[in-house]
Copies of this chain bind each other. A is one copy, B any other.
């Protein structure tokens, strides 16, 4: 690998001049510029990014810290982030935490040593006050939180309007004649889960339907819990007429439960899911879902982060971008119940 010195020697100029030609920071005469460019070409010289980073104090590297890329919500987020990053000359490094706080903190420590320029993070449910996030920001490395924000943290964020998503979905179920709508929720400490439940409550209240705590079951956003809770709910008397799973994987679990009980969807029980489900428009039952703009979440977040890095944002106050989810109605909820089809308490 040739160095800038060798280029300088070959072009019979100083290293400073070579640097100027490359970065374009200072004017260089036509003659020398020509010589330098030729030397670069002939030596097939590429500047060493490590050395550059050492002096210039930035690495042009971003990190994205998520729970698990295997969760179908994240690939699009990561793709969006990578597109925004590479468009601006940044690299994206990826980390899975499995929602374990100690792993998350450890990763943050590594990121500091690595002098990563900025961090995108989906904080783990139990990250409480998010001191590691605050520390990172305090040490001069901007952070953007995706999807969730640690309580009381002063940090940029890109969120989806979870309240609204759940609300329009439940409103739809009510329109279809459902009154006994059960919810398969996520961990109580997750704001995401709480907001979705909140949307559910609001939709019920609008329709004058009493809220029943017995219809809201807490899972852990994983397949197994969706499966188990759906089974429980389907065996309840009276059985709910509709199930609303608050994320994709639990929705799939619920789907499996319904099948195993030989119930049909939506005839015996309707099912709606928060989150896109892969193949939801191809397989049966075609699921009604609340679709989140996952790609946009990643893209906008990385973009916001880069704006911070390049001081394009005047305000020191946290910026919060809230994106709109979209209700996609499919077969799993489109059987209209007549009023007397509603089971009575």
Contacts and interface: CB of A to CB of B under 8 A. Distances in A.
A92 interface: yes
Contact of A79 (B51, B69, B91, B115): B69
Interface stretch (A6-14, A34-42, A70-78, A317-325): A70-78
B114 A50 contact: yes
A278 B49 CA distance: 40
A66 to B, nearest CB: 11
Interface string A87-98: 000011111100
A110 to B, nearest CB: 8
A100 interface: no
Contacts of A61: 93
Contact of A50 (B53, B78, B109, B283): B53
A205 interface: no
A86 interface: yes
Nearest to A256: B282
Contact of A54 (B54, B94, B109, B112): B54
A327 B297 CA distance: 36
Interface residues on A, range: 35 or more
Interface in A264-300: 277-279, 281-285
A59 interface: yes
A94 B94 contact: yes
A102 interface: no
A1 B139 contact: yes
A99 to B, nearest CB: 14
A46 interface: yes
A82 interface: yes
B54 A82 contact: no
Given A92-B93, A283-B279, A285-B283, A59 B68 contact: no
Given A69-B78, A139-B1, A283-B283, A114 B54 contact: no
Interface of A: 1, 46-51, 53-54, 59, 61, 68-70, 72, 74-76, 78-79, 82-83, 86, 91-96, 109-110, 112-115, 139, 252, 255-256, 259, 277-279, 281-285
12 contacts: A46-B112, A48-B115, A49-B113, A68-B79, A69-B69, A69-B78, A72-B75, A82-B95, A252-B282, A255-B279, A255-B283, A284-B284
Given A61-B93, A78-B94, A283-B283, 6 more contacts: A48-B113, A50-B115, A70-B75, A86-B95, A255-B283, A277-B279
